[in-house]
Chain A
């Protein structure tokens, strides 16, 4: 129970799943509160979908437990599922039904009838832009529409908990943007988990992100915190014109707040250098010292690196190849 007096909407404790001898999910723990959008990152086969399937109660865990809104998914599955909207991977839906028929079926299962059913269906049809295909058979729809139809069924009952497995997979950039906006808006009063391997989505929609690799959580924090894990975070890049390499390096390496300086690129009379701070974070003093150091030179570029999620992702999930990835600097 947190300071607000509410139990976390999603609570995952020591969740483990074995498929035969292979451990797909290994002792995963996290919580999601109302108002949080949790991005679930990881390479393919890391156990993202398996974890989500256990959260939604589709597959039973080997060990550990999941609680949705205070209900244990294994012991009170119906209560837990009532609070839950789920978009499975690849957005399956009944292809031999029309969009309208399908949403009506979901509404009836969710306990809606009469006027309330009509209202609930109309609401999601509007939210997911499905008016134009409402009476078409689902198998005649484009991938984007199929996807949004499945998303519509997940949010039909306006659930306090949403689990979305790759909600933007296979959508065009505009649709991706719409779905992300929708997730961000819904995230204000829901607890949302969504998985993705598109890192920009984490920035676009998440308040927090978890990186999972080989079944284990390897990082957990806000996008900014994760970025800080990057060794580029807080580094300053400068591009100078007509300055000899040795001179530039000599002067920049004397800065006391910098740990080291590396040359990124030399071409056509310019040199690009990167100065790394001693202890993470874009230090004002470092920036000031650099601007003093380069005074009098012709500066073409001066910027503070924020740290890149993709680099963090790579270095965390592929530790063996991390040096190779950074060798270009």
Chain B
């Protein structure tokens, strides 16, 4: 193409400076996330979800765990210990529509022919759901107020627990995102993510670990038990509940999220290729 014969489109879209790319990326992600969040809060799903989550949290904290009888001014055992189990069902429910709905209604074709990259859409959608889960988590603040009213808990430990809980929700959500991209049915997506999450949960669940240890008595097999346990959400979440932010735990949750988003991208690319 000669410089004298610029096509009109080339005149319209002059070269953008390179440093603007990061900013544009973030703007796209923000726009996608804003739309997704809007959808959460205009549909009854969000309110049903939040109400169920709060009811579960209160019921298990105050009645099942016997919060008042414990005489322990902390939220570790009574509150945060339940989160891996609540999230097992609630996060796949929140994440199941992310891509399955786009595939079912055909809007994925619309979304991916807009001038954005697929990963901007993937991150935007993930961010919206994660923020939504964060909002649900923050709405448990009356429990925090209660424990502060009744005693003098270490609020640093509680904050740490909240951070860990949110990160764990993100890890579950990363898995739900993959499951959602795999199918056009939300139900199938929900079941797939519950099964995968259940596996990640059980491989660190004490009864399962004990059973594995009974099988692998000899020292040569111990490392396998440890390897399996190291994949577990529970063992990595445990530290946060005790107020310890271990780099390895942090890295674990972040890598599950990154892996989830990357795999979502791969699945969507495979879907488009047919």
Contact A92 B113, CB 8 Å, known A101-B38, A108-B31:
no
Q: Please state if B113 and A81 are interface contacts (CB–CB under 8 Å).
A: yes
Q: Which residues of B contact A6 (CB under 8 A)?
A: 5, 7-8
Q: Give the segment of A57-65, A256-264, A278-286 that binds chain B.
A: A57-65
Q: Please state if A88 and B116 are interface contacts (CB–CB under 8 Å).
A: no
Q: Which residues of B contact A83 (CB under 8 A)?
A: 9, 13
Alpha-carbon distance A57/B106, docked complex (angstroms): 15
- Give the shortest distance, in Å, between A231 (CB) and chain B (any CB): 39
A314 at the interface (CB under 8 A from B): no
The A-contacting residues of B in range 1-26, CB under 8 angstroms, are 1, 5, 7-10, 13
Q: Which residue of chain A has the shortest Cβ distance to B24 in the bound complex? A: A111
Alpha-carbon distance A49/B1, docked complex (angstroms): 31
The A-contacting residues of B in range 208-240, CB under 8 angstroms, are none
B148 at the interface (CB under 8 A from A): no
B155 at the interface (CB under 8 A from A): no
Q: Please state if A19 and B274 are interface contacts (CB–CB under 8 Å).
A: yes
Contact A93 B107, CB 8 Å, known A78-B115, A81-B115:
yes
Q: Please state if A5 and B5 are interface contacts (CB–CB under 8 Å).
A: yes
A118 at the interface (CB under 8 A from B): no
For B, the interface residue count at a CB cutoff of 8 angstroms equals 29
Q: Please state if B31 and A92 are interface contacts (CB–CB under 8 Å).
A: no
User: Interface readout for A39-57 with B: 1 if CB under 8 Å, 0 if not?
Assistant: 0000000000000010011
Q: Please state if A90 and B106 are interface contacts (CB–CB under 8 Å).
A: yes
For A, the interface residue count at a CB cutoff of 8 angstroms equals 43
Alpha-carbon distance A69/B8, docked complex (angstroms): 8
Alpha-carbon distance A57/B118, docked complex (angstroms): 12
- Give the shortest distance, in Å, between B48 (CB) and chain A (any CB): 15
Q: Please state if B106 and A92 are interface contacts (CB–CB under 8 Å).
A: yes
B51 at the interface (CB under 8 A from A): no
Q: Please state if B107 and A82 are interface contacts (CB–CB under 8 Å).
A: no
**B114 partner, pick from A19, A81, A92, A93, beta carbons under 8 A:** A81
- Give the shortest distance, in Å, between B265 (CB) and chain A (any CB): 14
Q: Which residues of A contact B113 (CB under 8 A)?
A: 56-58, 81, 84, 86, 88
B43 at the interface (CB under 8 A from A): yes
User: Could you list 15 further interchain pairs (A-B, Cβ under 8 angstroms) beyond the known A6-B5, A88-B106, A92-B109?
Assistant: A7-B1, A9-B9, A19-B274, A57-B112, A58-B113, A59-B274, A81-B115, A88-B110, A88-B113, A89-B106, A92-B110, A93-B107, A94-B105, A109-B32, A160-B8
Which residues of A does B touch, CB under 8 Å? 1, 5-7, 9, 17, 19, 34, 53, 56-60, 69-71, 77-79, 81-84, 86, 88-90, 92-97, 101, 105-106, 108-110, 150, 153, 160
Which residues of B does A touch, CB under 8 Å? 1, 5, 7-10, 13, 28, 31-32, 35, 38-39, 42-43, 105-107, 109-110, 112-117, 272-274
